[in-house]
Structure 1
């Protein structure tokens, strides 16, 4: 690797020409890229917001990077912006051990502490959950019953679905499904922080017998894999046009067994993620009639 190339990469970095860095390095065969070039590539991908791709590059040089504070720092940045705060904290703590008192590292660690504290404050205690009134919550039309509703899930079925999805379903979601396993709510619109409304087609039940069930023929994994949605959790419903996209349980900040947030993920290119509610209970209690809101 020439000194001239390294100087050019640094110049592009200072000028925020991150795509130039990626393009230049990608022209070099992978087997000819050394630790420093791969580090530059990962950093540029981070700066472009391509955090998953950046992690893939950092993983290729893990063995050498374990003794490099900068490698841990950049890995931490990727995880932080993917909302994988546990992994990010571990990476920044490792960077801090190798390079104590680095201001940027300490700043990220402080941000993670703040976000973790906020998340804990927003998450209700499991014992505080009170099921909604199922008799008034659901629209039990013939079409809704045929498309969505299954028999209440057994504990064994719940366990097997969670194992297949690789995510622990929220207690409030499980409690609601044990009363009425999937369906179309009477109120289907949810307000966003932008002053608009997301309108849902229905809520998927726990099981496999209906195509719309979480593990059905057109379930969560099928939708994510065929439509290219981000691997952040579980699809629990579809949103209606013109909004389009899906409603997901987002486990990025909670981990696979924690309390996920509820988000809308756009069907458009880039799959924009819009935060809706800090947890499923807040989401279902915040639904309003379609007449009360307008879709995006």
Structure 2
């Protein structure tokens, strides 16, 4: 039966019958879909230009795909057509490392680098407010995908204050409507797997001191999608509450709280618009609401988190 199904999926792919592929696989319960079926599903969604859904599917088999150049190629393709060039570049570079000289991969790499070079041209914006520009530390060059199984610190505190059930599509839509901002696709997928919580790694490098010591910011937890838990996007200590009561700038969504009650990490939509891919910033109330850019998008921020033990002075 399984071999017949796989043969049928390949036949439909050759005939460009991508909807039939999606419908057939979606009829199979999610728990019964293995990495082969999910690969077929994600490929078909890419061909149907349902790129965000394709990424969501591929992320569920990230562990199986980390050494597979085709998995990285398909992830890169989805990010490319979503204009997420940083993410696309990372995936295609890994695909090239795993399968050197693949012509399609090299073509995408050339195209991405050309587009990113164009975006580097300075933009004139005389009305832009001054933003603190630290010595930016590079996000670690990861050649594997995020281990979402071991990403979280599932303590009692996290369960009580942060973690909610996986969000439904209706809940996501209602939260986005309340916040007036579209949440990043990568964040939504993370929350579908683990809705809010305290990560194992809570530090993010932001620069260096005059003495050469590395500086960083700390987060306490990541707000989940919902209203039930205190530390969720629309909870009692959620984004709107923190912005309104803390006087933080109306630039987007508070996504992480911090050990310091005078600082937050936010999704900043000023450059992207309310429906675009926001940057991630750190806002320090005690420093006259100074804004520090952390990452170009939420996924880069998550990938840049490191363990606070790295900053143990005694070490």
TM-score (norm 1): 0.55
Check 1:230–1:254 CA distance in 2 against 1; reply closer, same or farther (3 A cut).
Answer: same
- From 233, 251, 263, the equivalent of 1:245 is 263
Q: In structure 2, the residue corresponding to 1:135 is in which secondary structure?
A: coil
Question: Number of aligned pairs?
Answer: 173
Tell me how far apart the structure 1 counterparts of residues 278 and 145 of structure 2 sit (CA, whole Å). Answer: 18
Point out the structure with the larger helix share. 1
Which residue is 2:198 aligned to?
184
Tell me how far apart the structure 2 counterparts of residues 216 and 190 of structure 1 sit (CA, whole Å). Answer: 25
Deviation digits for residues 208-240 of structure 1 (CA, Å, limit 9, x no counterpart): 001111001111000000010000100011122
Which residue is 2:157 aligned to?
143
Deviation digits for residues 178-222 of structure 1 (CA, Å, limit 9, x no counterpart): 000000000000000344111100000000001111001111000
Tell me how far apart the structure 1 counterparts of residues 202 and 224 of structure 2 sit (CA, whole Å). Answer: 16
Check 1:163–1:197 CA distance in 2 against 1; reply closer, same or farther (3 A cut).
Answer: same
Deviation digits for residues 73-107 of structure 1 (CA, Å, limit 9, x no counterpart): xxx632x4489xxxxxxxxxxxxxxxxxxxxxxxx
- From 125, 134, 139, the equivalent of 2:148 is 134
Give the gaps of 5 or more residues in structure 2: 1-124, 132-143, 209-213
Which residue is 2:290 aligned to?
272
- From 262, 279, 293, the equivalent of 1:261 is 279
Deviation digits for residues 123-157 of structure 1 (CA, Å, limit 9, x no counterpart): xxxxxxx9732211000011111110000000110
Q: Is 1:166 aligned with 2:180?
A: yes
Give the gaps of 5 or more residues in structure 1: 1-75, 84-129
Q: In structure 2, the residue corresponding to 1:259 is in which secondary structure?
A: coil
8 Å CA contact 1:177–1:206 kept in 2: the answer is: yes
Check 1:155–1:184 CA distance in 2 against 1; reply closer, same or farther (3 A cut).
Answer: same
Q: In structure 2, the residue corresponding to 1:196 is in which secondary structure?
A: strand
Which residue is 2:169 aligned to?
155
Give me the CA root mean square deviation. Answer: 2.2
Cα displacement (A) at 1:269:
5.0
**Which protein is bigger by CA-based radius of gyration?**
1
Tell me how far apart the structure 2 counterparts of residues 294 and 261 of structure 1 sit (CA, whole Å). Answer: 28
- From 219, 227, 233, the equivalent of 2:252 is 233
